[in-house]
């Protein structure tokens, strides 16, 4: 059964299954970055020549509910994400739609995203997990802007659960095709650095969230 936001129960369950544990050896996934408490994997997307990414990290002293709340708080993200140029959520025909413009370095054009998202707290084999899904959509109410490239292929899923102590385990899937004339090697380099930086930034944001409230 699909909800009005566009995500079905099956999609949430599938996201959980895909994010359970580290990426398997083989199967097209390869290790890209390994650091303390963090691992990033990728596999090629044959259609675009780009990659899909899976990231797994441990956030010490950050409760899972807090981490999920911070991720969903778009107003707060404007404060901690320096790449945000414009970000808001609006109701279009009964569906909550997010508009997000991302700053790109000169001389490249900024990119923008139009997407839907949802969060569900699920019971997964006796464990409570917070699952967030997002995917790009096209709505005539938010047309493309001159000088900004619209990203029409964007997908992200995030699963957060307790680490059994005072922190949480974070698993993330990410894919987008930024379009334009950016070389694929540059896009992949940006993802290699951008995904770890994003997780690092959201951890810092979690620690400062109490100051915002």
Residue 61 structure tokens: 């002293």
**So what's the pLDDT on residue 48?**
75
**So what's the pLDDT on residue 211?**
66
CA dihedral 72, 202, 16, 4 (to 10 degrees): 20
**So what's the pLDDT on residue 26?**
58
**So what's the pLDDT on residue 24?**
58
Q: What residue ranges define each of the domains in the chain, with the CATH number in brackets?
A: 9-19+27-212 (3.30.530.20)
**So what's the pLDDT on residue 1?**
34
**So what's the pLDDT on residue 50?**
80
**So what's the pLDDT on residue 22?**
56
Nearest Cα residue to 30 out of 3, 54, 62, 59: 54
Task: Give, for all 213 residues of the chain, the pLDDT tens digit.
Answer: 334 457 888 899 889 888 875 555 556 788 888 876 788 888 887 777 788 888 898 888 899 999 999 999 999 999 999 999 999 999 998 899 999 999 988 788 999 999 999 999 998 888 899 999 999 999 999 999 999 999 999 999 999 999 989 899 999 998 888 887 777 777 777 777 777 788 889 989 998 887 665
């Amino acid at each position: 059964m699909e909800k009005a936001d566009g995500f079905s129960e099956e999609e949430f369950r599938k996201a959980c299954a895909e994010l359970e544990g580290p990426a398997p050896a083989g199967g097209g996934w390869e290790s890209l970055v390994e650091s303390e408490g963090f691992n990033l994997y990728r596999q090629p997307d044959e259609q675009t020549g780009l990659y899909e990414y899976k990231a797994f990290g441990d956030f010490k002293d950050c409760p899972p509910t807090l981490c999920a709340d911070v991720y969903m708080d778009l107003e707060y993200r404007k404060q901690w994400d320096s790449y945000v140029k414009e970000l808001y959520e609006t109701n279009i025909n009964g569906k909550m739609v997010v508009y997000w413009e991302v700053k790109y370095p000169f001389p490249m054009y900024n990119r923008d995203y139009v997407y839907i998202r949802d969060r569900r707290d699920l019971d997964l084999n006796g464990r409570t997990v917070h699952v967030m899904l997002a995917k790009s959509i096209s709505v005539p109410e938010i047309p493309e802007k001159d000088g900004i490239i619209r990203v029409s292929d964007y997908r992200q899923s995030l699963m957060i659960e307790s680490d059994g102590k005072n922190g949480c385990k974070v698993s993330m899937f990410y894919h987008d095709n930024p379009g334009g004339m950016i070389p694929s090697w540059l896009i992949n380099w940006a993802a290699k650095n951008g995904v770890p930086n994003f997780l690092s930034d959201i951890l810092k944001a979690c620690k400062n969230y109490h100051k915002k409230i």
